[in-house]
């Protein structure tokens, strides 16, 4: 009879073994046998908890998504921070230590590649993308208008994803991740400054037009 509370421990063990297998062999060559050997359990244990490789891989992707969510919550929950500081926290969460690890980067890249051909992975990728954009839009909205906040969020999300991917594929990943994080923070500030200047400029032009008409 299994010990009480063993299920979440065992599931985490199998997820970590899956990440290790993807790191070593890639997602395509990751098998139930390889995962079980890394975890030190029988293949029957994996089938018992997940029912096969595909559900375990999907659970591993959900684990990656949850790590993103909890990292951001840890940085923001219960804290009185500005919109700019929250934007920094979102960026830092995407470039956190866990998501810089070789196991996580290889898993993310494999997941993105498979999402092109797998509907369930594609759905998870849409959730991940929408969550990032929603978090960014919420912060930008406190500074910019609704329409401007949406466009800023789309640009910022593309910048984060692009810099993350370039860093993950780099031969100097750790230093490149650090540089990428700083570039993304600077870009967030530039989006705010550019839009604020544009708004103020339009207001001045409008006021000047009204004075001229008088």
Please name each of the domains of the chain with its CATH number.
1-51 (1.10.10.60), 64-213 (1.10.357.10)
- When pLDDT is cut at 50, 70 and 90, the band that residue 5 belongs to is low
Per-residue model confidence as pLDDT tens digits over 72-104:
999 999 899 999 999 999 999 999 999 999 999
pLDDT at 150: 94
What's the rounded mean pLDDT across residues 47-75? 94
Place of tokens 């790191």: 23
List alpha helices for the chain, DSSP H. 6-25, 32-39, 43-49, 53-76, 83-94, 97-100, 102-114, 119-141, 146-168, 173-213
Res 195: pLDDT:
62
Mean per-residue pLDDT, 32-60:
94
Alpha-carbon distance of 95 to 156, in angstroms, equals 14
Q: What is the Cα–Cα distance from 122 to 117, expressed in whole angstroms? A: 8
**Digit-coded pLDDT (tens) for 117-162:** 999 999 999 999 999 999 999 999 999 988 899 999 999 999 999 9
């Amino acid at each position: 009879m299994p010990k009480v509370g063993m299920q979440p421990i065992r599931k985490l063990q199998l997820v970590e073994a899956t990440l290790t297998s993807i790191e070593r062999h890639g997602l395509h060559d990751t098998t139930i046998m390889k995962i079980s050997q890394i975890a030190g359990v029988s293949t029957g244990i994996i089938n018992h908890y997940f029912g096969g490789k595909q559900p375990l891989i999907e659970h591993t992707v959900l684990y990656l998504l949850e790590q993103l969510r909890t990292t951001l919550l840890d940085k923001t929950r219960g804290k009185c921070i500005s919109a700019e500081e929250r934007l920094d926290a979102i960026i830092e969460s995407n470039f956190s230590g866990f998501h810089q690890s070789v196991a996580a980067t290889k898993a993310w890249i494999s997941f993105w590649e498979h999402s092109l051909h797998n509907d369930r992975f594609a759905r998870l990728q849409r959730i991940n993308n929408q969550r990032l954009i929603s978090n960014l839009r919420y912060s930008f909205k406190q500074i910019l208008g609704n329409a401007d906040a949406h466009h800023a969020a789309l640009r910022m999300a593309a910048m984060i994803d692009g810099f993350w991917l370039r860093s993950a594929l780099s031969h100097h990943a750790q230093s490149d991740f650090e540089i990428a994080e700083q570039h993304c923070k600077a870009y967030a500030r530039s989006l705010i400054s550019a839009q604020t200047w544009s708004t103020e400029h339009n207001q001045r032009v409008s006021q000047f037009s009204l004075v001229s008409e008088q």
